[in-house]
Amino acid sequence: EFLNNFNSHISDGVHHLGGIYLRTISASTNTSSSIDELEKITTKCFNASLDVGFSKFNVGSSGALSYESFNDCGTHTANKIEKKQATIECRILSFGPPCTNPDIFAQLLSTNNSFWHLIDRSDFRSFLPVWELMNNHSDNYIQQAARKIKQAWLQQAANFSHIPIIQCEIDRVMLDTRNPTALSIRLPSHRLMSVKDSISFDTAVDTVEDILKSEIGSFDTDAANETQLLNKTISAFHIIFEANSAFGHNLLPALLTRETLKRFLTSIGLCDQVLKLQLTYSIITRIFNEQLLNQLQRENISLGDVTTKLLNQAK
């Protein structure tokens, strides 16, 4: 009920208030026509509208129609020149002052904030689950409610896990909680999850290192798109946190001294495609929090210059 009434996430990023003034021109014909010719017509009409102003054309939200004749030729006309007529629709859509004149629109917007709308906000990485905000509350009742809301969201979100952005958020939420009971919703079961016997720390590290090699050992960061890189990053650290639960050890510091995870993080740090890296930043900053960094420093574990630079960029 809470999720239905108030939703699950809230943006803590930058919110932009103001207005949006949209001028659009579309062209259509009753028969197949050359896209290039239609683009020329719409460009010509749009430029003409800028010269004299849309309001001179009596254009409003309902649109205004006009007609343009043009010569068309191509395979759809058997390479013969045909004279056709295109229907041109001019339309204005505004979020803000209810007027079609752009100058008056801007003037009203700057002098009267009652016309302001929320027109933009930071991207999806700025959205925080409400239960994370509630977790910081001093009231134990609020903290318990936060856990129930998180559980309810995971159950609802699982129904939409075929949508990449929702699946990524499911992974992020489960990764952040490090709660092995939540992992059963989606994550593939690795052989380490069936380990019941007590084994040595070194054997546990070797086991997870082998699994990581099969998961990320041959991964090509440069060739991957942003979603593939994000999913692979999430998958790698999920494996590690599954192992922590299965073996009863915190294996991450030791794995950071092994070749597979070091090479993977280095490949991310060397990637020069900033937009692709930005999706992984939220995961990396959550993993490499102050507590882990202090532990690595105490144990004299170096991340290397490239990975250290990556962490600084992510912050």
For 24-48, the pLDDT digits (tens) are 888 888 888 888 888 888 888 777 7
Q: Could you tell me the residue ranges of all domains in the chain? A: 20-115, 160-314
Is the pLDDT assigned to residue 303 strictly greater than 70?
A: yes
pLDDT at residue 64, rounded to an integer: 67
What's the rounded Cα separation, in Å, for the pair 250 and 253?
7
Average pLDDT in the chain: 80
> Average of pLDDT values for 241-270?
88
Is the pLDDT assigned to residue 206 strictly greater than 50?
A: yes
pLDDT at residue 301, rounded to an integer: 93
Which is higher by pLDDT, 250 or 248? 250
pLDDT band at 194 (very low <50, low <70, confident <90, very high): very low
pLDDT at residue 196, rounded to an integer: 43
> Average of pLDDT values for 134-152?
88
> Average of pLDDT values for 144-172?
81
> Average of pLDDT values for 90-111?
87
Residue 299, number of CB atoms within 10 A of its CB: 11
pLDDT at residue 136, rounded to an integer: 79
Percentage of the chain lying above the pLDDT 90 cut:
20
Find the range with the poorest average confidence among 146-155, 172-181, 248-257. 172-181
pLDDT at residue 62, rounded to an integer: 52
List, in sequence order, the alpha helices (H) in the chain: 2-6, 35-52, 102-111, 130-134, 140-157, 164-177, 201-216, 226-247, 252-255, 259-270, 274-287, 290-298, 305-314
Are 67 and 83 spatial neighbours (Cβ–Cβ below 8 Å)?
no
Residues 6+ apart with CB under 8 A from 206: none
Residues 6+ apart with CB under 8 A from 168: 227, 230, 231, 234, 279
pLDDT at residue 181, rounded to an integer: 36
Are 206 and 198 spatial neighbours (Cβ–Cβ below 8 Å)?
no
> Average of pLDDT values for 226-249?
81
Is the pLDDT assigned to residue 162 strictly greater than 70?
A: yes
Is the pLDDT assigned to residue 261 strictly greater than 80?
A: yes
Is the pLDDT assigned to residue 54 strictly greater than 80?
A: no
> Average of pLDDT values for 73-84?
80
Residues 6+ apart with CB under 8 A from 148: none
Which is higher by pLDDT, 5 or 307? 307
pLDDT in tens, 264-295: 999 999 988 877 787 788 788 878 888 889 99
H/E/C letters for each residue in 114-136?
Answer: HHCEEEEECCHHHEEEHHHHHCC
> Average of pLDDT values for 98-126?
86
> Average of pLDDT values for 59-81?
73
Q: Whose CA is closest to 18, among 110, 122, 124?
A: 110
Residues 6+ apart with CB under 8 A from 236: 212, 215, 216, 261, 264
Are 8 and 130 spatial neighbours (Cβ–Cβ below 8 Å)?
yes
What's the rounded Cα separation, in Å, for the pair 86 and 67?
6
